[in-house]
Amino acid sequence: MKMQLAEIAKAVNADNDIEQWNELEVSSVSFDSRKVTDGTLFVPLSGNRDGHDFIKSAIDNGAVATFWSSERTDIPTDFPVIVVKDTLEALQALSRYYLMKINPRVVAVTGSNGKTTTKDMIAAILATQFNVTKTQENFNNEIGVPVTILSMEPTTELLVIEMGMDRPGQLEFLSNLVQPDLTVITMIGEAHIEFFGTRDKIADAKMEIIDGLKEDGVFIYDGDEPLLTERAKSVSQLQKTFGRSENVDFYPTDVVATPTTTTFKTNKWPDETFEIPLIGEYNVNNALAALAVADTYQIRPANMREALKKFDATENRTEWVKGSAGEQILSDVYNSNPTAAKFVLNAFTQVPTKGKRIAVLGDMLELGDEADEMHAGLAEDLDPLQISSLYLIGTHMKALDAKLIDRYSSSQLHYFSVTDLSALIMQLEKEVTADDLVLIKGSHGIHLEEVLDALK
């Protein structure tokens, strides 16, 4: 991004005259004063702290200008300031303007599970033939999406945007902001069911990603999910489906899982063998969604194959890490929900080991009134002959502990409250040997990354 301050002020309908700084050039945008570098426009947002309080820190780190809320009367006069009614709305308006200016084709991805992995796969495949910008980290909301847009280089041809949601209307806003050329829904699960109540309502909310889809756009979704196939009947744009049945457009054949990779063929290109550097057959669905996008943009099958084999997955999404005792750790500590947990547990039990399989499971958050029941439901995927040692932590994991107490011995089943994470780590470190496999899975709010860091 490179824009003069005068252009930015016009794009956001600034409330003040910045004539003396019109030609000042901005090269990036940040709402975090700690991540500001030379040439940055700082965007002070309201949260637990008012971002305006960090203007000095932003300037010290290289900020050359800042947005400023018109509700505040203490407007600086010795530094380039663009006064706006609402700094978040100004950030969004600037991103909308810049998106129109660069005018890439936009791929928008959402889903209860797999959206980050699918986004990474799509971006890797498209990058074999186009200049691509993709969502970094978890920048997938009303703040992160505009920041992603503004991170584009002027040469960007395809923008791959991940879109998250935790309430109705959120995807509608984001979809209308980016006006996608293609949308993907990976699946409908139970994530955020606390806020929606039912999977039907989650599906309604996920379908909001269609609201901004261009008339000549493409809608790609899991064709084995009745909640989506029924709602897709009202979508006028071109549709493509993926899944495991032969009723969809893209389905796999010859799936083979190894401890570190999964290979498969598809009905679309039966002579090609695709490999992904992830365990779990559930990741094949994510790859099929990416292949459906690739087919839309006429990527050569050989390029698809090579890109999937080497794609760079976002950190902490089912990645193997070596522990200090020599053990292999399957880390999936960014987020969790019942569907994702079952997928990972089933994949984990298929990995051969000379030692024990040990699972560390933390609470799955935002599941509402049925949280205890959903946690207890994981019991059907836990067999002491497959996973011989369990460490459970969190309020709702107590329900799973109670469900397993007759199946696992006291030496195999360990429960900890959320305040006893350090005790869990100490006991786990005493048990783990070089021959063991360890799975760490839980919602980010349980902070199981501390367990990972301790074992590493």
Q: Do 208 and 248 belong together in one domain?
A: yes
Phi, psi of 219 (to 5 degrees): -115, 120
Binding residue per annotation — 116?
yes
Please tell me the distance from the alpha carbon of residue 376 to that of residue 304, in angstroms, as a whole number: 40
**Both structure tokens of 448:** 């199981």
Point out the domain boundary residue: 266, 281, 310: 310
Q: Do 327 and 302 belong together in one domain?
A: no
Q: Who's near 23: CB < 8 A, 6+ residues apart?
A: 4, 5, 6
**Both structure tokens of 254:** 């010859």
Residue 98 lies in a domain: no
pTM for this predicted structure: 0.90
Q: Do 206 and 162 belong together in one domain?
A: yes
**Both structure tokens of 348:** 């984990």
Amino acid 90: pLDDT: 98
Residue segments in the chain with a per-residue pLDDT below the cut of 50:
none
Please tell me the distance from the alpha carbon of residue 88 to that of residue 67, in angstroms, as a whole number: 9
Q: Who's near 190: CB < 8 A, 6+ residues apart?
A: 112, 199, 202, 337, 338, 339, 367, 374
Q: Do 151 and 226 belong together in one domain?
A: yes
Q: Per residue, what are the HEC states of the chain?
A: CCEEHHHHHHHCCCCCCCHHHCCCEECEEECCHHHCCCCEEECCCECCCEHHHHHHHHHHCCEEEEEEECCCCCCCCCCCEEEECCHHHHHHHHHHHHHHHHCCEEEEEECCCCHHHHHHHHHHHHCCCCCEEECCCCCCCCCHHHHHHHCCCCCCCEEEEECCCCCCCHHHHHHHHHCCCEEEECCCCCCCHHHHCCHHHHHHHHHHHHCCCCCCCEEEEECCCHHHHHHHCCCCCEEEEECCCCCCCECEEEEEECCCCEEEEECCCCCCCEEECCCCCHHHHHHHHHHHHHHHCCCCHHHHHHHHHHCCCCCCCCEEEECCCCCEEEEECCCCCHHHHHHHHHHHCCCCCCCCEEEEEECCCCCHHHHHHHHHHHHHHCCCCCCCEEEEECCCHHHHHHHHCCCCCCCCEEEECHHHHHHHHHHHHHHCCCCCEEEEECCHHHCCHHHHHHHC
Q: Per residue, what are the HEC states of 87-121?
A: HHHHHHHHHHHHHHHHCCEEEEEECCCCHHHHHHH
Binding residue per annotation — 51?
no
For residue 325, give the amino acid letter: A
Amino acid 316: pLDDT: 61
Binding residue per annotation — 362?
no
Binding residue per annotation — 111?
yes
Q: Do 225 and 347 belong together in one domain?
A: no
CB 145 within 8 A of CB 177: yes
Sign of the Cα torsion 100, 106, 112, 117 reads negative
For residue 268, give the amino acid letter: K
For residue 345, give the amino acid letter: L
**Both structure tokens of 155:** 């040469």
- Cα separation of the two ends of the chain: 38
Q: Do 18 and 157 belong together in one domain?
A: no
Binding residue per annotation — 115?
yes
The sheet with strand 158-162 has its strands ordered as 132-134, 158-162, 105-110, 182-185, 218-222, 238-242
Q: Do 352 and 266 belong together in one domain?
A: no
Other residues' Cβ atoms within 10 Å of the Cβ of residue 432: 22
CB 120 within 8 A of CB 134: yes
Q: Do 238 and 145 belong together in one domain?
A: yes
Q: Which long-range contacts (CB under 8 A, 24 or more apart) does 196-200 make?
A: 196/168, 197/368, 199/227, 200/227
Residue 97 lies in a domain: no
Q: Do 78 and 134 belong together in one domain?
A: no
Amino acid 258: pLDDT: 87
CATH number, domain containing residue 400? 3.90.190.20
pLDDT in tens, 184-213: 999 998 776 767 878 899 999 999 999 999
Point out the domain boundary residue: 52, 87, 122: 87
Other residues' Cβ atoms within 10 Å of the Cβ of residue 176: 14
Task: Please give the residue range of the domain that contains residue 9.
Answer: 3-87
Residue 99 lies in a domain: no
Amino acid 208: pLDDT: 98
Q: Do 340 and 274 belong together in one domain?
A: no
Residue 144 lies in a domain: yes
Residue 96 lies in a domain: no
Which is nearest to 365 in space by CA: 391, 334, 401, 336?
336
Q: Do 295 and 151 belong together in one domain?
A: yes
CATH number, domain containing residue 82? 3.40.1390.10
Binding residue per annotation — 113?
yes
Which residues make beta-bridge pairs with 265? 253
Q: How many domains does the chain have?
A: 3
Residue 117 lies in a domain: yes
Amino acid 51: pLDDT: 94
Residue 79 lies in a domain: yes
Please tell me the distance from the alpha carbon of residue 354 to that of residue 339, in angstroms, as a whole number: 28
Residue 39 lies in a domain: yes
Q: Do 187 and 112 belong together in one domain?
A: yes
CB 407 within 8 A of CB 298: no
